[in-house]
A and B are shown apart, each in its own frame.
Chain A
Amino acid sequence: MLTSYTIEGFENIQYQGFKALSDIEKKLNHLFRLYGYHQVATPTFEAYDLYAGEDAIPSDDLFKLVNHQGKVLALKPDATMPVARMAAINHHNPEEIIKFFYLTNLYRNFSSPDIVKKEITQMGVEFFGDERPECDGEIIALAIESLFCNGITDVQIDLGHVGFINYLLDELDITPEDRAMLFKLIDNKNIGDIHDFLSRRNFDPKISGIIAQLPMLYGDPVTVFKKMDALCVNRRMEAVVRDLKAVYHHLDIIGMARYITFDLGFTSAMNYYSGMIFKAYVGNWGAPVIDGGRYDTLSAKFGIDRPACGFAIDILELMDYMEQHDLLNHQVSPHTVILYRPGDKCQAFHLCRGLRSDGTITEMFRVDDTPEALIPQLMNQALYRPSRFFLIDGGSLYKWQDSRFIPILDIDGQKGDA
């Protein structure tokens, strides 16, 4: 059985899909370059130790292998950490501005309740060395642009900040387990269970009251800002509001504010995020296609303390959305197929060389018996359906039209004579 060789969680990309995929990648590549980003690549394998300490990706979800020296490796489960490390290794001045983009496959158990995807394709940007709101603004605007350039207009950015919840919980004497539990409940907007949870703990009622409001702290930025102002209980929370206001103000000036909504009740699975975080939704698609945020403390792990901000696009998820909304270009360009008799080989190759140098996709097949039989056989094959067929026989050119060969003088001006 063929199926027994299929591994769950991995996908083939058919030729039509691959063309659509590379179209998307080309557009993004162009866009990122226009913004001054440089493309980089990091190895497929990573030292397992790099991820072992991160509780963001449970080590059970990693693909591990042992190399010839007995060192444990992992298939790259995340793109940001390797790129941050690369920036740290090659650029030692922490003040340096570094703008990178990448296209990579990632491997891990991306377990959502019913999907067992194990390989995804991500394209993303990382902007190192700038902690001002304009940098956040550029990253968010670039995320929006990267959807626009693929013909998607129904874009919504959900903007949050990891600090707001964390600095609030810092007011409490709370165990790491309780903190994680609360994050999960707030992330699920599970208001019922949050009330239950808080009623079973001896927390300051004022703080508990604010925690209970976090799940509903979403929507139109201006309204959310008003609510946030009233909820701050310390300087650091006030600073978060100031930061977000500055980013929002920047986006307003550059005309991107209409795509922004706020949600201070979402957290990120990746625990390297240290400030603003965001997700991009398209239409009513059930999953975000872009994830991003600020990670000012990650680079210090690799020896260079520098602020950074970036995002990644889940390309295959984006492609699924575009497929469902007819935004993909599946048009396979028609091939020119030239059949030749053994004696016409030299002329046929000249002809093909000429056509290819004009940019025409050209294929050739030798015919020994009846070309009339070969053509219908080819036309029935998926890869040759949108093709046009020609024949060279005894030095003369023919075109296949209405099920017969019609003599012609040239193909697109090419005759094939030496």
Chain B
Amino acid sequence: MKIKIALAKGRVAKKAIALLTDIGYLFPDYSEDSRKLIFTDTTEAIEFFLVKSPDVGTYVEKGAADIGIVGRDVLMEHPAKVYELLNLNIGQCRMCVAGYADTRIQFNKKLTVGTKYPNIAKQYFNSIDQPVDLIMINGSVELAPILGLSDCIVDIVESGSTLRENGLVVLNTICDISSRLIVNQVSLKTKSAYIDPIIHRFEAMAL
């Protein structure tokens, strides 16, 4: 039985595939520009496919994939009923509130926040009792404060260079983000003979 792994396209995928190689699963027919959709390792123990990051949780929850590798930011924004088994300690970054250095968060006034992560932003500002207007933005979030669309943004910050180049700074860190290994709740039980060894290999690398 092959164990199916869903990987989040983009930032996480490269590191996840490198990690899979490190723990001994080789994918000779994988290359970044390959048109194939599913790749099987040389021992035929696992196969992986790439999907948009918010879909990883869905594939795993529904059992179309047994295992998924996806950033914690995505799991927080799009919760799925899965086991969030391991912190893989790859793709590390922070979920931050960013804006101009002189932006004051005034608790008596509504703050306009531009973000790709409305759920995370809402939860965070609720938890500090800050009234906000959320503006959903799908990309280049840094533009929002520059063009005056919002007072600040909520986004993931890796090195901070994009912020710096645009004259913005981190105002507050909401939480640390790294990639997680998630597992279908039924597969973990019913396919444990196949899944356990894979998890143990990941575990040995992550710790």
Report if A362 contacts B (CB, 8 A). no
Partner of A263 from the list B63, B184, B189 (CB cut-off 8 Å) is B189
Interface-located stretch among A4-12, A189-197, A291-299, A350-358: A189-197
Tell me what chain A mostly uses at the interface: helix, strand, loop, or mixed.
mixed
Residues of A close to B206: CB separation below 8 A: 192
Interface-located stretch among A280-288, A309-317, A367-375: A280-288
Partner of A284 from the list B57, B83, B86, B187 (CB cut-off 8 Å) is B187
Q: How far is the CB of B31 from chain A (nearest CB, A)?
A: 31
B83 touches A113 (CB 8 A): no
- Contact flags A295-329 to B (C-beta < 8 A → 1, else 0): 00000000000000000000000000000000000
- Contact flags A190-214 to B (C-beta < 8 A → 1, else 0): 1111001000000000000000000
Report if A188 contacts B (CB, 8 A). yes
Residues of A close to B192: CB separation below 8 A: 219
In the complex, A158 Cα to B190 Cα: how many Å? 10
In the complex, A391 Cα to B63 Cα: how many Å? 54
Partner of B85 from the list A158, A189, A285, A287 (CB cut-off 8 Å) is A189
- Contact flags B174-207 to A (C-beta < 8 A → 1, else 0): 0000001001111111101000000000000010
- Which residues of chain B from 48 to 83 have a CB within 8 Å of any chain A CB? 57-58, 61-63, 78-83
B180 touches A286 (CB 8 A): no
In the complex, A313 Cα to B186 Cα: how many Å? 17
A156 touches B57 (CB 8 A): no
Partner of B87 from the list A113, A114, A192 (CB cut-off 8 Å) is A192
Q: How far is the CB of A44 from chain B (nearest CB, A)?
A: 28
B184 touches A286 (CB 8 A): yes
In the complex, A190 Cα to B185 Cα: how many Å? 12
Report if A112 contacts B (CB, 8 A). yes
Residues of B close to A284: CB separation below 8 A: 63, 186-187, 190
Residues of B close to A59: CB separation below 8 A: none
Report if A261 contacts B (CB, 8 A). yes
Report if A127 contacts B (CB, 8 A). no
Report if B84 contacts A (CB, 8 A). yes
- Contact flags A165-205 to B (C-beta < 8 A → 1, else 0): 00000000000000000000000111111001000000000
In the complex, A74 Cα to B185 Cα: how many Å? 32
B186 touches A281 (CB 8 A): yes
Partner of A285 from the list B57, B86, B186 (CB cut-off 8 Å) is B186
B184 touches A188 (CB 8 A): no
A192 touches B84 (CB 8 A): yes
Residues of B close to A112: CB separation below 8 A: 81
Q: How far is the CB of B127 from chain A (nearest CB, A)?
A: 12
A114 touches B58 (CB 8 A): yes
B190 touches A156 (CB 8 A): yes
Partner of A190 from the list B57, B81, B84 (CB cut-off 8 Å) is B84
B63 touches A192 (CB 8 A): no
Determine which residue in A114, A261, A285 has the highest number of CB atoms from chain B within 10 A of its CB, and name it.
Answer: A114
In the complex, A113 Cα to B63 Cα: how many Å? 15
Report if A398 contacts B (CB, 8 A). no
In the complex, A286 Cα to B57 Cα: how many Å? 12
B189 touches A113 (CB 8 A): no
Task: Kindly report which residue of chain B lies nearest to residue A111, judged by CB atoms.
Answer: B79
In the complex, A158 Cα to B183 Cα: how many Å? 16
In the complex, A367 Cα to B57 Cα: how many Å? 59
In the complex, A278 Cα to B122 Cα: how many Å? 35
Residues of B close to A100: CB separation below 8 A: none
In the complex, A113 Cα to B79 Cα: how many Å? 6
B189 touches A156 (CB 8 A): yes
B78 touches A188 (CB 8 A): no
Partner of A192 from the list B61, B180, B185, B189 (CB cut-off 8 Å) is B180
- Which residues of chain A from 109 to 125 have a CB within 8 Å of any chain B CB? 112-114
Residues of A close to B82: CB separation below 8 A: 188
- Contact flags B15-35 to A (C-beta < 8 A → 1, else 0): 000000000000000000000
Report if A48 contacts B (CB, 8 A). no
Report if A218 contacts B (CB, 8 A). yes
In the complex, A263 Cα to B81 Cα: how many Å? 17
A189 touches B84 (CB 8 A): yes
A190 touches B63 (CB 8 A): no
Partner of B80 from the list A113, A219, A263 (CB cut-off 8 Å) is A113
A190 touches B85 (CB 8 A): yes
Residues of A close to B78: CB separation below 8 A: 113
Q: How far is the CB of A154 from chain B (nearest CB, A)?
A: 9
Residues of A close to B79: CB separation below 8 A: 113
Residues of B close to A191: CB separation below 8 A: 85-87
5 A-B residue pairs with CB within 8 Å: A156-B190, A192-B87, A263-B189, A281-B186, A284-B186
Query: What are the 10 tightest A-B residue pairs by CB atom distance, in nearest-first order?
Result: A192-B87, A189-B83, A190-B84, A286-B63, A113-B79, A188-B84, A286-B62, A113-B80, A281-B186, A189-B85
